[in-house]
Amino acid sequence: MKKTLFVLLLTVLFATFALAETVITVAAGAVGQELELAKDAAAKYMDMHPGVTVNVLETPDLATDRLGLYLQFFEAESPEVDVYMIDTIWPGDLAAHLVDLYQFDGVKELVDTMFPAMVENDTVDGKLVAIPWFTDAGLLYYRKDLLEKYGLEVPKTWDDLENAAKIIMDGEKKDNPDFWGFVWQGDAYEGLTCDALEWIVSNGGGTIISTDKEITIANEKAAEIIDKAAGWVGTISPNGVVGMPEEGARAVWQAGNAVFMRNWPYAYSLSNAEDSAVAGKFGVSPLPAGDSGRGAAALGGWQLAVSKYSENPEIAVDVALYLAGYESQKNRAIVGSLNPTIEALYQDPEVLEATPIFGELYDVFVNAVPRPSTVSAPNYNEVSTAFFQAVHSVLTGVETDTMAALEELALDLEDITGFEIIW
């Protein structure tokens, strides 16, 4: 009798516990301070919602690897992850696995405070598949102190950048053999798609695939600037740049071993942190121009999406709304220099004081160039993979005829998308 009572008690206890404790798992990034910031916000949410545990799952740094992991969860229709942090290029590719957030209370009110283009980007066939969380644009980080020391200006063109990098490297390498001119994202992954798109757009070579579904990549302007970038490898950029992602570039830069770095805004607050050799010594500007006469920034950024396979979609949406809400975005902007998606935060004095580039480079952020993800969905990842592999083969010297590499790429893109090639 006693034993039965004990078992009964245990069952009741367990049931109460199980009922009270909803676990929401958020797949988040760990580049820079992202993981700590997500965990912080999760802790705050849990304080306000004692019945909910929010687990933050760390995912690979490289967008391409992260997508690979997500696809495994989605293919298994796994309920293990409720909220996914998804790249700005993935809504179309992943829509089939995501809930329509417009069905949930509070979502429309929040996204109405965000940049309409970002909300539009996350809308697939009228369904809102993700809430814009932070946005990104490619920027040029430069060493103010060194440009001054050598009497040089902030480069406005790629030629200026090459020139300044060479002069400063020649001078600095004498004391510091590890010193380089320019670090960027040359590894074979999504980051290279962003960097190469910036070069090509800045040179008037189009956006790989146009919004009118034309494959435009096989053109001289594109070939010319990719060749130029290939010339940086081993001269102004270390040979290892062809294996370098964002964090690799930041490590070289933050140790004080580069004049220039191409990176996203997250590197701003870290570069100014106490442990950074470049704190207070650098500036940030738009990326240099090529033949088009204007620099171009790739549009990046991350969104929060809720899985169709989540067992607790309502609570998952509530967590996403909190993470992407005003207070949480404000904190991320101040502590992590992660660009808000809520327009009003660009006028918030505390945000602008902590991260002045949000005001100074506002035009860069709102004019950033999207990758051709909407037009090629659900095949964007294949398109991008073909593109970064082709560019990488030129950077590493595997392919020496750049125009031929781009023509071959155009044929691959035709197979993937069925779009027409403009020769």
For β-strands 123-124 and 83-87, DSSP reports them as unpaired
Which CB atom, from 303 or from 310, has the smaller least distance to ligand GLC?
303
Taking the C-alpha atoms of residue 276 and residue 281, their distance in angstroms, rounded to an integer, is 10
**253, 311, 325, 346: which is closest to 107 by C-alpha?**
325
- Residues at the site binding ligand GLC, with contacts judged by CB under 6 A: 63, 87-89, 136, 190-191, 194, 246, 264, 300-302
Which CB atom, from 91 or from 301, has the smaller least distance to ligand GLC?
301
Query: Residue 87: in which H helix or E strand, if any?
Result: strand 83-87
User: Smallest gap, in angstroms, from Cβ of residue 66 to ligand GLC?
Assistant: 9
Which CB atom, from 263 or from 417, has the smaller least distance to ligand GLC?
263
User: Smallest gap, in angstroms, from Cβ of residue 243 to ligand GLC?
Assistant: 14
User: Smallest gap, in angstroms, from Cβ of residue 242 to ligand GLC?
Assistant: 15
Which CB atom, from 230 or from 244, has the smaller least distance to ligand GLC?
244
Using CB atoms, what's the residue nearest to ligand GLC?
300
Q: What are phi and psi of 150, to 5 degrees?
A: -100, 5
Tokens of 23: 């676990």
User: Smallest gap, in angstroms, from Cβ of residue 135 to ligand GLC?
Assistant: 8
Which CB atom, from 158 or from 264, has the smaller least distance to ligand GLC?
264
Cβ-proximal residues to 377 (8 Å cutoff; 6+ apart), any chain: 91, 92, 93, 95, 124
Residue pair 300/198 in contact (Cβ under 8 Å)? The answer is: no
Which CB atom, from 295 or from 300, has the smaller least distance to ligand GLC?
300
Return the exposure string of 341-352: e unless at least 16 CB atoms fall within 10 Å of the residue's CB, then b: bbeebbebeebb
Residue pair 74/305 in contact (Cβ under 8 Å)? The answer is: no
Radius of gyration of the chain (CA): 23
User: Smallest gap, in angstroms, from Cβ of residue 31 to ligand GLC?
Assistant: 6
User: Smallest gap, in angstroms, from Cβ of residue 7 to ligand GLC?
Assistant: 51
User: Smallest gap, in angstroms, from Cβ of residue 328 to ligand GLC?
Assistant: 18
Which CB atom, from 334 or from 338, has the smaller least distance to ligand GLC?
338
Give me the torsion for CA of 74, 27, 314, 102, rounded to 10°. Answer: -80
CA distances 379 to 128, 199, 302, 334, 417, Å, are: 19, 23, 19, 36, 7
